[in-house]
Structure 1
Amino acid sequence: MFTLTPAAAARILDSAQQSDAEGMALRVAAKLEDDGQLSFGLGFDDEREQDLSYECEGLTVLIAPPSRELLEGMLLDFVEVEAGDWQFVFMQTQAPGSCPPSSCGGCGSRGGCSSGN
């Protein structure tokens, strides 16, 4: 399952407030590029029928079917990479198919931990 840190959630909630997107869900997407690298996308959106939807750190997270397997075990953080330079960072935190020790639902919650949900 994709998770995010309190720092990432706080920054996203602040961005939502500044852009009049308060209360909207956070859509997270991933794509495997031709060179084998993963690219990621974040944005505020409405839920669609096939979306995996769950609560994490005060946000509703939406993940479309094509991104589920790629985002499994990923953690989004908001970190200072250099003095004064803050960025969102995606990190692989677990082997795909295992459950994270998180407060974002875990196994048995809506969507569960498998990539087949």
Structure 2
Amino acid sequence: MFKLTTAAAEQVMRAAKEGGTEGMSLRLAATQKEDGAIDYRMGFDAATEEDIRFQSEGVDIVMSPEDVPLLDETVMDFVEIEPGKPHFIFLNPKDPTYQPPADA
């Protein structure tokens, strides 16, 4: 199942509040490129009847059934890789560019 880290969930909730989209679900989507890498998309949206719906860290998440195979087992985090430039990252073992985090 897809999961959010606490840091990602906090940032999603902050973005929803600042953007006036509180109460909407976080929609996730993924497509596989020719080289096998996965392209991720997200935004706030209303759920449809066909959507897969679940919660992670208090955030309502929706995705279409065709996105589930690419997003299953993925963890979305919010990190600062470069000082002052935080962003979302997707840790997905199905993505050939995936590198597991080093153990601390």
Q: Please, which runs of 5 or more residues in structure 2 have no aligned partner?
A: 95-104
Q: Give the Cα separation in 1 of the matches to 2:55 and 2:87.
A: 22
- Residue of structure 1 in register with 2:45 after alignment: 45
The within-5 A match list for 1:6-85 is: 6-85=6-85
Q: Secondary structure at the match of 2:35?
A: coil
State the shift of 1:18 in Å. Answer: 0.7
Q: Which contiguous aligned blocks of 4+ residues in structure 1 show a shift greater than 4 angstroms?
A: none
Q: Secondary structure at the match of 2:21?
A: coil
State the shift of 1:24 in Å. Answer: 0.6
Q: How big is the alpha-carbon RMSD for the aligned residues of Structure 1 and Structure 2? A: 1.3
The within-5 A match list for 1:95-110 is: none
Q: Give yes or no for contact 1:75–1:93 (8 Å, CA) kept in 2.
A: no
Q: Secondary structure at the match of 1:43?
A: strand
Q: Give yes or no for contact 1:30–1:67 (8 Å, CA) kept in 2.
A: yes
Q: Give the Cα separation in 1 of the matches to 2:42 and 2:25.
A: 10
Give the TM-score of the pair, scaled to structure 1: 0.76
Q: Give the Cα separation in 2 of the matches to 1:92 and 1:38.
A: 9
Give the TM-score of the pair, scaled to structure 2: 0.86
State the shift of 1:89 in Å. Answer: 0.4
Q: Give the Cα separation in 2 of the matches to 1:13 and 1:46.
A: 15
In the alignment of these two chains, the number of paired residues is 94
Q: Give the Cα separation in 1 of the matches to 2:43 and 2:68.
A: 16
Q: Secondary structure at the match of 1:8?
A: helix
Q: Secondary structure at the match of 1:31?
A: strand
Q: Secondary structure at the match of 1:55?
A: strand
Q: Give the Cα separation in 2 of the matches to 1:15 and 1:77.
A: 14
